[in-house]
Chains A and B, each alone.
Chain A
Amino acid sequence: MEQQQRTIGGYLKSNWFWLTVNLASSIPLILLIWDFAQDTLSVDPINAINNRTGRAAIVILLLSLACTPVNTVFGFRKALTVRKALGLWAFFYAGLHLFNFVGLDYFFDVNLILQDAVLKKPYILAGLGALLILLPLAITSTRSWMRRLGRNWKRLHRTVYAAGGLAVLHFFWQAKAAERIEPLLYALALALLLILRIPALRRAIVKMRTQWLGNRSQPALEHR
């Protein structure tokens, strides 16, 4: 492993999954910048930025929540190496989403945001709640914070599920009746991911997998 990392080829070989996931996560951003520069964000760019960043944030957040269950069910340990990166990407898109809302849509009119949005639109509160939960998680995502918080780190980072729930609720609440299928699918995915975390179920799945695949599920070497 150590030997491999010294060459570029070796680095790519051991980090290809992490690199691919990060590259893929940047695609919505690249497309957004591209369309912004070309002025092809439709005649309502604020709405386009809003939809794109919001969707990217929710999808990537759900993917970050899928990492652990993917390892549980399929024994794909590399999934664990991208959990943090996906979480940070989700936070980044959520931050852009908020900036678009505050800056471009409401043009930094704090009073109007309070009177017109925060106090009157429950879906805004849900979205804001999700972002406020993600903020400390993003800050404490480093190894040093992990060490400093010890056991509490895991407790703190479990709140990501609340963020996921609020984000999906936010999406559902603002959608018209005819457009609720997509948020409902996300809610379903979130519920499934939560169910897969139930300790008893998790142990049962791991046990079944080890029986089927035998030695493939030995304790893992952390790749990153």
Chain B
Amino acid sequence: MVKTHWSEITPENIYLNRRKFMVTGALATGALAMAACGTGQSAGKAAAGAGANQVPAVQVYPADKLPAALAYADPFASTGKDEIGDSLNKFQEITNYNNFYEFTTTKEDVAREAQGFAAFPWQIEVGGLVNKPKTFDLDEIYQKFTQEERIYRLRCVEGWSMVIPWVGFPIAALLKEVEPQNAAKYVRFVSVMRPDEMPGQRMAILDWPYQEGLRLDEAMNPLAIFATGMYGKPLTNQQGAPFRLVVPWKYGFKSTKSIVKIELVDTMPPTAWNTAASNEYGFYANVNPTVDHPRWSQSTERRIGELGRRPTLMFNGYAEEVTSLYAGMDLAREF
């Protein structure tokens, strides 16, 4: 009945925005220079530097220093489907439909509003109840932790979903570096606070900065990752560049974007949406088709790019991996 597929809106090549164009250009120039004289490192740097001069507004991570998993010029994924056979959403779908209230509450406009955001340089402070508190530079994150592709379904509490090929690494790997103490029971994540660059933060939509939390054992689950990229490229600003949380069995709002601070604590930390409306958003926020939102059903979802609806899966389809985390809990009460 519909002859044009919804998602075929703009060819990917046209979609490359200013920054990606620049990164691509710098990559290509760098590669050319390497081939020509063999002094890859310095030539690449020079090329990236030249690129930065052309677009002085926003500094980006030098393309030649990106880890391989993030260095693809065009959107890359190793496969077109997730483990249960669902097709990946397209790059332009994922990067043009974003809930990132720090910029705007209009999902379609976040990409535009986020263009001036400086995701580089970036530091992440990790502290609290740990033996080795440490502030990580983005460089160190890229180098110390193996960046790998993770294809996950993302289920928004609003009732829509996508399949996204993230690039990142397990939260557990980073926590191991700082050595959580025995008293640590929860992990608190805090997003960046920059009202100058984030128009939404100039309004009292939520209690800024955005903060979220996980129980320590949830954070240590191998499915829970920090994402640094998507489709083989660094995260776009609208996705929470350069460093965000992805917890695929929970509603999307748990997956904190543009994280600057991680803290190990002994009590359940306050979380942004729970603070705003505790009857609607619980601390756990596990995807659960049997626990309805106070105002609407959570038993179905609309996959972006599809007509009609599909049933929502328990724990978003990751029940096998995570059910044991909630043994003995009443998930309807602790939602």
A interface list, Cβ under 8 A from B = 39-40, 42-48, 104-107, 109, 112, 115-117, 120-123, 173-174, 176-179
Contacts and interface: CB of A to CB of B under 8 A. Distances in A.
Nearest to A38: B9
Contacts of A40: 9
A84 B101 CA distance: 40
B276 interface: yes
Contact of B300 (A44, A116, A173, A174): A116
A126 to B, nearest CB: 11
Contacts of B276: 177-178
Given A40-B9, A106-B308, A112-B300, A178 B105 contact: yes
Contacts of B160: 44, 47
B288 to A, nearest CB: 14
Interface in B282-296: 292, 295-296
Among all A-B residue pairs, the 5 with the closest Cβ atoms: A107-B308, A120-B297, A43-B93, A121-B296, A42-B108
- For the complex, would chain A's binding face be called helix, strand, loop or mixed by DSSP majority? helix
A63 B8 CA distance: 37
Given A46-B302, A178-B101, A107 B307 contact: yes
Interface residues of B, number: 31
Contacts of B107: 42, 44
Contact of A43 (B7, B277, B297): B7
A117 B297 contact: yes
Given A109-B308, A120-B292, A178-B205, A43 B302 contact: no
A42 B307 contact: no
Interface string B202-228: 000110000000000000000000000
B299 interface: yes
A120 B97 contact: no
B207 to A, nearest CB: 11
B313 to A, nearest CB: 15
B304 interface: yes
A115 B311 CA distance: 12
Contacts of B302: 44, 46, 105
Contacts of B115: none
B92 A43 contact: yes
A116 B305 contact: no
A117 B280 CA distance: 18
B206 A42 contact: no
Contact of B297 (A47, A116, A177, A179): A116
B176 interface: no
B120 interface: no
A120 B205 CA distance: 27
A42 B96 contact: yes
Contacts of B206: 178
A122 B92 contact: no
A55 B297 CA distance: 22
Contacts of A106: 308-309
Contacts of B92: 43
30 contacts: A39-B8, A39-B9, A42-B107, A43-B6, A43-B92, A43-B108, A43-B305, A44-B108, A44-B302, A44-B304, A46-B307, A47-B160, A106-B308, A106-B309, A109-B308, A115-B299, A116-B297, A116-B299, A116-B309, A117-B297, A120-B296, A120-B299, A121-B295, A121-B296, A122-B295, A176-B277, A177-B277, A178-B101, A178-B276, A179-B105
A177 B157 CA distance: 14
Contacts of A179: 105
A121 B297 contact: yes
Residue among B92, B101, B297 with the highest chain A CB neighbour number at 10 A: B297
Given A43-B97, A112-B309, A178-B101, A173 B295 contact: yes
Interface string B92-110: 1100110001000101100
Contacts of B7: 43
Given A42-B97, A109-B308, A177-B277, 15 more contacts: A39-B8, A43-B9, A43-B92, A43-B93, A44-B97, A44-B304, A106-B308, A112-B300, A112-B309, A120-B296, A123-B295, A177-B280, A178-B101, A178-B105, A178-B205
